[in-house]
Chain A
Amino acid sequence: RKEVEQDPGPFNVPEGATVAFNCTYSNSASQSFFWYRQDCRKEPKLLMSVYSSGNEDGRFTAQLNRASQYISLLIRDSKLSDSATYLCVVIPPLVDYKLSFGAGTTVTVRA
């Protein structure tokens, strides 16, 4: 079983719609979780951290469900510029430098 698994999508949504997707992780002792964003043919960039209490950054909301071992990302009022691949990232326990990346979920926002 992979450390981090994501639905690859693509999620095709119209502008203004809400889109949400999850990511599951295998190591229940993982402590740190993040979402990175990668535009086509570009490098990954940190989008936001995911805290136990959940967190919100503008139109983006991230949640952590430790019991079911998944994290989620919700994008409200989608913009064309939100079209990208969203990478789920987990830091396993005891190896604080090693980011485990999911394969990514592709979101396409259409006009």
Chain B
Amino acid sequence: DARVTQTPRDKVTEMGQEVTMRCQPILGHNTVFWYRQTMMQGLELLAYFRNRAPLDDSGMPKDRFSAEMPDATLATLKIQPSEPRDSAVYFCASGLGRSETQYFGPGTRLLVL
């Protein structure tokens, strides 16, 4: 049963520290999405990749966030420096073809103190 994997599952850090979250999409999927979920804002799209190319990162704070896909099996989301308002659950999702069939990973719960 193929799944999207994410690491770490939980992360507690102090304000100003760098945070790196990793995602392994389902093998063969050509689209990767990063989302952030908070109680206040719900699920927000941060970045979107198709065939490893970043096509949309308009939802991402550019000054501190960056997203990359160094290869087809790894997507990363970095926050530097982190701030308390970045505390949220970050989900990675992957898909193939039609966008509505997105498979979400278990998420990374980030707490910035």
Residues in A lying within 8 Å of B, measured CB to CB: 32, 34, 42-46, 49, 87, 89, 91, 96-99, 101-104
Taking Cβ atoms with an 8 Å cutoff, the residues of B that contact A are 31, 33, 42-43, 45, 48, 50, 55-56, 91, 98-102, 104-107
Q: Which of A43, A98, A102, A103 contacts B99 (CB 8 A)?
A: A98
8 other contacts beyond A44-B104, A99-B102, A103-B42, with CB at 8 A cut-off?
Answer: A42-B106, A43-B105, A96-B99, A97-B31, A98-B56, A99-B99, A99-B100, A101-B43
A97-B50, A97-B55, A99-B99 known; A43+B104 contact, CB < 8 A: yes
Listed residue (A34, A91, A101, A102) with the most chain B CB atoms within 10 angstroms of its CB: A101
Q: How far is the CA of A44 from the CA of B42 in the complex (A)?
A: 12
B-chain residues with CB within 8 Å of residue A98 when the two chains form the complex: 45, 48, 56, 99
- CB closest chain-A residue, reference B104: A43
**What residues on A are CB-neighbors of B45 within 8 Å?**
98-99
The answer to whether A46 and B105 have CB atoms under 8 Å apart is no
Question: Across the two chains, which residue of chain B brings its CB closest to A45?
Answer: B104
Chain A residue numbers with a CB within 8 Å of B33 are 97
The one of B42, B104, B107 that contacts A102, using a Cβ cutoff of 8 Å: B42
The listed residue with most A CB atoms (<10 A of its CB), out of B33, B42, B105, is B42
16 residue pairs of the A-B complex, CB under 8 angstroms, read A32-B100, A42-B106, A43-B91, A43-B105, A44-B43, A44-B91, A46-B102, A91-B99, A91-B100, A97-B33, A97-B55, A98-B99, A99-B99, A101-B42, A102-B42, A103-B42
Residue of A nearest to B59 (CB): A98
CB contact under 8 A between A46 and B101, given known A97-B50, A97-B56, A98-B48: yes
